[in-house]
Chains A and B, each alone.
Chain A
């Protein structure tokens, strides 16, 4: 498959990139790893005339500030997230999530920022449209949905694995654009609009991700449901971050985020508060998992029915919560080996 013609620009600094973005108007796209953009271009879903490559820029390694805040360059590859000792120590949840993304080859290419700023996906959208589904759907600028015709809206889902992890870690992001620099919480990055899922303006670039220090004792768990283990986007994914009291068995603060079942990753504040102050027992975990499955609005997608996803969600939430509790008590530590990569 060949790519449509385009012009590739390679700025060497962030300011230059922002300037180029501003100059080239509408038909321009940023490329970092390219593992998500290029397939879309090959399918003919978008054809930017100018592509601004961020590969010419220097990538800074993860930094830890004096306050224990972890500062990550959005341009670092997913493999370097998994391999980074700082992330392993300060935010294992992010490393766990990165380890679940696609395959080793794609993790070597894909970047943190690219994963967070990916497009929403749909079985009927992410394919070639030369043979079937030729009439454009909402996502291609048309007025119909092949998946749920009566729904009268787009039902594409946002399938990033890193986003739920970062939402659970209360991360913030730094954005550089034509109007200067700004900071926001990561949940503000997502618009909950399947047609335009990312809230960045056309001339803005996501530059850094900041994660505040990990209090002790805490534990995290990440669970992703897929039909097969590798090269799959999630049917549902859950990122859990738990903070415990010093007795290690009472929950002080809980963060649960569910991804891939709607147009943006969703925090579960009601369930989080219901866990807080309670014992981290199997019974309470079961209740929380049940409650999430009951309250969350789930969009069926990629051949998974709603009922099936509800069951999956229950199991995945439970798995992630149990992993988090085990990490707190030290019963089972997240090993780098488990995450599947070289020593």
Chain B
């Protein structure tokens, strides 16, 4: 059976901007971000939900863009790594990653930053266990986990919502 009519017109809200797009049903959010919109900051690692490098925030919660169909993201707020530094500067999480040397090859970094940002939004004073739990789904093949841990704990200290 030939599959017909599998194109959909979508309105996606990504980093506060609205995009009108035509996507095919089988396209994941990751495909749309990278191939249609050129937002290549979100990386595809495994493509099957094992590595966490494609993490984006959907309504503020971290999800895997590689396992999320683009057609299911309509009317939802999507945030990617590109939206993290809209004013040109870096967010405290990104600053901390840089300061602590938590970026090696950088492939996992965008996912790590998104997940850490989500963690710090919900919990401004995480301990090591919280960080481990939140970043458990993120693989770093350079194995720079210690620095990443330090960076997230450091970012927590300078996070703006902490009062």
Contact = CB atoms under 8 A, between A and B. Distances in A.
B28 A105 contact: no
Given A2-B26, A39-B67, A103-B137, A340 B6 contact: no
A104 B63 CA distance: 8
B50 interface: yes
B63 to A, nearest CB: 5
Interface string B9-53: 000000000000000111110010000000000001011111010
A188 interface: no
A109 interface: yes
B31 to A, nearest CB: 7
Interface residue range, chain A: 35 or more
Contacts of B63: 105, 108-109
Interface stretch (B68-76, B87-95, B153-161): B68-76
Interface string A102-132: 1111101100000000000000000000000
B85 interface: no
A269 interface: no
B48 A104 contact: no
B115 interface: yes
A267 to B, nearest CB: 30
A343 B120 CA distance: 11
Interface in B111-128: 115, 119, 122-123
Interface in A1-44: 1-8, 10, 27, 31, 34-35, 38-39, 42-43
A342 interface: yes
A102 B48 contact: no
Contact of B64 (A10, A35, A55): A35
Contact of B6 (A8, A229, A342): A8
Contacts of A39: 48-49, 67
A311 interface: no
Given A8-B6, A34-B67, A34-B68, A104 B136 contact: yes
B133 A104 contact: yes
Contact of B62 (A5, A42, A104): A104
Contacts of A229: 132, 136
A62 B154 CA distance: 38
Nearest to B59: A108
Contact of A231 (B27, B50, B67, B122): B50
Contacts of A43: 48
A49 interface: yes
Nearest to A27: B1
B137 A106 contact: yes
Nearest to A34: B67
Contact of A105 (B5, B72, B123, B137): B137
A105 B115 contact: yes
A35 B67 contact: yes
Interface residue range, chain B: 35 or more
A53 interface: yes
A6 B3 contact: yes
A5 B136 contact: no
B72 A343 contact: no
B47 to A, nearest CB: 4
B48 A8 contact: no
Contacts of B137: 102-106, 230-231
Contacts of A8: 6, 8, 25-26, 69, 71
A79 interface: yes
B126 to A, nearest CB: 9
Contacts of B71: 8, 10, 53
Contact of A340 (B52, B68, B129): B129
Looking at A4, A53, A342, which has the most chain B CB atoms within 10 Å of its CB? A342
Contacts of A109: 63-64, 67-68
Interface in A92-110: 102-106, 108-109
Contacts of B136: 103-104, 229-231
A53 B69 contact: yes
B26 A49 contact: no
Interface in A200-232: 229-231
18 contacts: A6-B3, A6-B26, A7-B3, A34-B67, A34-B72, A38-B69, A42-B47, A79-B61, A104-B136, A106-B67, A108-B58, A108-B62, A108-B63, A109-B68, A230-B136, A231-B136, A231-B137, A341-B133
Instruction: Sort A-B residue pairs by CB-CB distance and give the 5 closest, nearest first.
Output: A103-B137, A230-B136, A1-B47, A342-B122, A340-B133
